[in-house]
Structure 1
Amino acid sequence: MTRNFTLSNSTIENISDESPSLVASRNAMADPYHPVKNPNGILNLGIAANKLQGDLLIKKDLDYGNACGSEELRKSVSTLVNKYFNPISPVISSHIIVTNGVTSAMDKLASVICNHEEAVLVSEPYYSFLTTDVNLVAKAVVHGVPVPPSEIQSPSQVNYYESKYRELSSLGITVKMIILCNPHNPTGKVYSRAALEAILRFANKYDIYVIFDEIYALSVYRSPTKNIINSIGSSNNHSDELYTFESVLSFDNLNELIDPRLVVVVHGLSKDFCMNGFRVGWIISPFNSDIIKALSKISPFSYISAFTDRLVANILSDAEFIDVLTYTVRRNLLINYNKITAFLSQKNISYIPAQAGNFILIDIKPFLLIWKNNNLQPGESPITNIKDLTFDDEYQLWISSIEKGRIYYSSGVNIKAHEPGWVRLIFSQEWNSLKFGLERLIDFFERGSST
């Protein structure tokens, strides 16, 4: 029986009503005339671009570019993916859509896949802005799946997905998509192969699209097979299982787990390449041409400048530079991870061991208890048990930390942590500055937070 995986209603309308004029325009833009390189190309006398100042301007980089990303850029991305992500079949340029950042990529994917109010499942804790990424335009709704940190790398987590699916189905809510961040943000964990396979089987069972956010794929600084430096520090009895990162593109048994048409990957410059300001991301859909076709239709709303396109293509095509950069990123992350975990252990602060990304989850419940008792509201009695702390207490501490302590971090209440008192800290900065910030934060928690 042929399976039919529907896209959003607006997308079905968009791709079923192809304008002949738009097709002709795209074909013209894709085959421009050049006196030497393409003498049989199309001479463009239809786009309102003033080229009379050609001797003063960099012609190509200041002209209109390809809304999906130039062929050169998409080829550079495909070369990068084929080298570092080990796809079972080569990724080619036609599998790729370039967007102005992964945030935009998530927005576009939600728009082409989800109808209003349809559910997007994300395991808690999660990167908080995913809620707006899929909702501000597409009006899809994130529903957190409360996976305990102890199970984030285990196939047992699929039980929580099943429970959430049944809950939403009983309310008449369609579950259309899963966003799976691997490596995981904010725990810094790499999923086990068994966990990924369990989630894929679950998604296949219910015809749910799975968007793999692999933005930290090349920022794995600890692995079971190879470490640049041996990690030190104590995790205060939290699990420290290490797994090798495996892109879903590399799964040789993908067809046995899920219909591949349901699988899409996103990646970009911001994290692995430390180029946040470029705002360049890409969507990889080797298995579903309808996704590419749908994204192409709306690409004019998210494409990058021709100048940026050319620059990024040049950067990514420099294989030696990319090798050095990714090695240096992993090395420096591990050095700072060792420093921050040693610092936390010295201060007897519990944390969840990480192995990828530039963040770590730490346990501030003892500090939250101190702060709460220093800031009791009229009529409130002192709290003696950490279990009596609430997310509202944590939120108020977070606001106070910003306004009075002059320190910003990601509060657990905002990232949907499993219990009050967990926060995400970024450790990817110069150590003296990071150490100063940590000491100021702890000092504020312990002494400076009293009203």
Structure 2
Amino acid sequence: MLSYRGHRNVEGLSVPWRFSHTQTYDPETDPTGLISFGLAENRPMRAEIAKYINEKVYTEQGHYFSTPYTEIRPNNPTQVTFTQDSISYRSSAPTAARLPAAAATHLNNILSPDIPIQPEHIVVADSATSLGNMLGYNLAERGEGILVNRPVYGRFELDYGVEAGVEMVYADTATEEAFSPTSVDKYEQALEAARGRGMQIRAVLLVNPHNPVGRCYPVETLKAIARFCQKHSLHLISDEVYASCVFETDDPDAVPFTSILSLHLVGVIDPNLVHVLYGFSKDFASGGLHLGFLVTQNKQLRQACQAILRLHGASQAAVTIGTAILEDRAFVSSFTAKSRKCLASAYRLTTSTLNEQGINYIKGGNAGFFVYIDLSPYLPFKEGLSPREREFVLAQKLVDAGVFLHPGEEHSKDVGWFRLVFSQEEDILKEGFRRLLGALKSSA
């Protein structure tokens, strides 16, 4: 009844622990509900975005979303009207041009590109996830590969694989090594091994700032990887969805964020091979808004994406809201500052708790929503279980205690490492730690 592709995707639904549990905890209505340390969402900042949309985006009659038909819109050029055009199949030309222009201004501000981003360099879609799928589809054939180091965000296997059929090929870098120019040696080894088994590699995928380690790539490492891509005629995809989620820490050695686009790459790599992904899900705590951007100078690639965009286009409602947000530079600045302050506070609470409890984690983080922690001392030993199955047993014990961490999600070479997402309200973070530590102590 189904195609081979359909059958494979259905089988993927039954892979153990492949999908995250949903947070159900609420201190008032569901105090025994599950707390998720697995979903990379900036929960404390969602209220800020919802409040902004309610106050700044208006109905066609000139009224607030939040209190329709009662408050009349003041004369404010930063406010955007939600019109019939916002729910049409296609926006009129003036409306359609506003979001790419606003996105270009925003990205020029936060990425500091060596060559300024123009609106025509941007493809707007319904998410960075969809754009990853589109890149896989347009840059590689089914069964070909994209090279990535590990540990790394585990869902790339789905983003690039479910529809496009492209495989993630892992360079076995140690965590520290992944941020060093010497990591190129491991990329070379992985590339040659793939070719030896008849697989073509079409691109290298970077996550910068990194997920799950929470660090940024040094300039020299970025240049070394770019040279590697040029040497082998590989595309370089830089996923920069956490670009503004960089915060202050007490670590003087923490590396600041550098976009691949900010480097002077003349003589290093053909600019037509360099592509950046960005979206609203992380920097604006708005995963459900579904807005993503691909930035590339490669005109042919942009055309290929446009050819399949009807399957991945952003809704005009999301375009209207996204335009309102990005055109309000004062709001973007204040929102980003508050987000960074919240993340820094949550990071300090998380790392101080881990330090007090003697739980090992990767140091030097200053970006994203997570720390990468080593729970290998707490893995239960049971005869006949594989290392990954031992992770599953621990993960189930944590769920039974009311807290979720995703086992095996980040494809570490070493067993027992988990990504812990700390971007929660402080009281929820503390309650989650209480549950987590209680479960770990009972495992010791």
TM-score of Structure 1 vs Structure 2, range by shorter chain: 0.7 to 0.9
Q: What residue in structure 2 maps to residue 262 of structure 1?
A: 273
Matches within 5 A, 1:155-234: 155-222=181-248, 230=250
* Letter of the structure 1 residue corresponding to residue 109 of structure 2: K
Query: Which residue, 409, 419, 423 being the options, matches 1:424?
Result: 419
Runs of 4 or more off by more than 4 Å in structure 1? 66-69
Describe the superposition over 1:180-228 as per-residue Cα deviations: whole angstroms up to 9, x where unpaired: 1001100001001111111111111111111100001111113xxxx6x
Deviation at 1:409, TM superposition (A): 1.1
> Take 1:417 and 1:172, find their aligned partners in 2: how far apart are those partners?
25
* Letter of the structure 1 residue corresponding to residue 293 of structure 2: W
Tell me, yes or no, if the aligned pair for 2:226 and 2:269 is still in contact at 8 Å.
yes
Deviation at 1:367, TM superposition (A): 1.8
Corresponding residue pairs, total:
361
> Take 1:347 and 1:66, find their aligned partners in 2: how far apart are those partners?
55
Check 1:241–1:410 CA distance in 2 against 1; reply closer, same or farther (3 A cut): farther
Matches within 5 A, 1:19-168: 58-65=83-90, 70-168=96-194
Deviation at 1:399, TM superposition (A): 3.0
Deviation at 1:66, TM superposition (A): 5.2
Deviation at 1:359, TM superposition (A): 0.4
Describe the superposition over 1:23-81 as per-residue Cα deviations: whole angstroms up to 9, x where unpaired: xxxxxxxxxxxxxxxxxxxxxxxxxxxxxxxxxx9321121225999211000100001
Give the share of equivalent positions with the same residue, in percent: 29
TM-score, normalising length: structure 1: 0.77
Secondary structure in 1 aligned to 2:85? coil
Q: Which has the higher contact order (CA 8 A, sep 6+)?
A: 2
Deviation at 1:276, TM superposition (A): 1.3
Q: Which moved more, 1:326-335 or 1:61-70?
A: 61-70
Q: What residue in structure 2 maps to residue 273 of structure 1?
A: 284
Tell me, yes or no, if the aligned pair for 2:146 and 2:201 is still in contact at 8 Å.
yes
Query: Which residue, 248, 254, 260 being the options, matches 1:242?
Result: 254
Tell me, yes or no, if the aligned pair for 2:290 and 2:318 is still in contact at 8 Å.
no
RMSD of aligned Cα (Å): 2.0
Q: Is 2:407 aligned against 1:395? A: no
Describe the superposition over 1:301-342 as per-residue Cα deviations: whole angstroms up to 9, x where unpaired: 111121211111011100000000111111111111111111
Tell me, yes or no, if the aligned pair for 2:145 and 2:202 is still in contact at 8 Å.
yes
> Take 1:251 and 1:221, find their aligned partners in 2: how far apart are those partners?
22
> Take 1:172 and 1:269, find their aligned partners in 2: how far apart are those partners?
38
Q: What residue in structure 1 maps to residue 366 of structure 2?
A: 355
Query: Which residue, 280, 296, 316 being the options, matches 2:306?
Result: 296
Deviation at 1:263, TM superposition (A): 0.5
> Take 1:67 and 1:102, find their aligned partners in 2: how far apart are those partners?
24
* Letter of the structure 1 residue corresponding to residue 350 of structure 2: I
* Letter of the structure 1 residue corresponding to residue 103 of structure 2: V
Describe the superposition over 1:279-303 as per-residue Cα deviations: whole angstroms up to 9, x where unpaired: 11110012x1101111111111111
Query: Which residue, 324, 331, 334 being the options, matches 1:324?
Result: 334
* Letter of the structure 1 residue corresponding to residue 200 of structure 2: T
> Take 2:230 and 2:211, find their aligned partners in 1: how far apart are those partners?
24
Greater Cα radius of gyration, structure 1 or 2: 1
Query: Which residue, 406, 410, 433 being the options, matches 1:438?
Result: 433
Query: Which residue, 336, 339, 347 being the options, matches 1:337?
Result: 347
Q: What residue in structure 1 maps to residue 4 of structure 2?
A: none
Describe the superposition over 1:94-130 as per-residue Cα deviations: whole angstroms up to 9, x where unpaired: 1111111111010011111110111111111111110
Q: What residue in structure 2 maps to residue 15 of structure 1?
A: none
* Letter of the structure 1 residue corresponding to residue 318 of structure 2: T
Check 1:221–1:350 CA distance in 2 against 1; reply closer, same or farther (3 A cut): same
Secondary structure in 2 aligned to 1:219? coil
Secondary structure in 2 aligned to 1:446? helix
> Take 2:359 and 2:276, find their aligned partners in 1: how far apart are those partners?
36
Check 1:210–1:289 CA distance in 2 against 1; reply closer, same or farther (3 A cut): same
Tell me, yes or no, if the aligned pair for 1:99 and 1:304 is still in contact at 8 Å.
yes
> Take 2:83 and 2:371, find their aligned partners in 1: how far apart are those partners?
44
Any gaps of 5 or more consecutive residues in structure 2? 1-81
Any gaps of 5 or more consecutive residues in structure 1? 1-56, 232-239, 381-388
Tell me, yes or no, if the aligned pair for 1:269 and 1:281 is still in contact at 8 Å.
yes
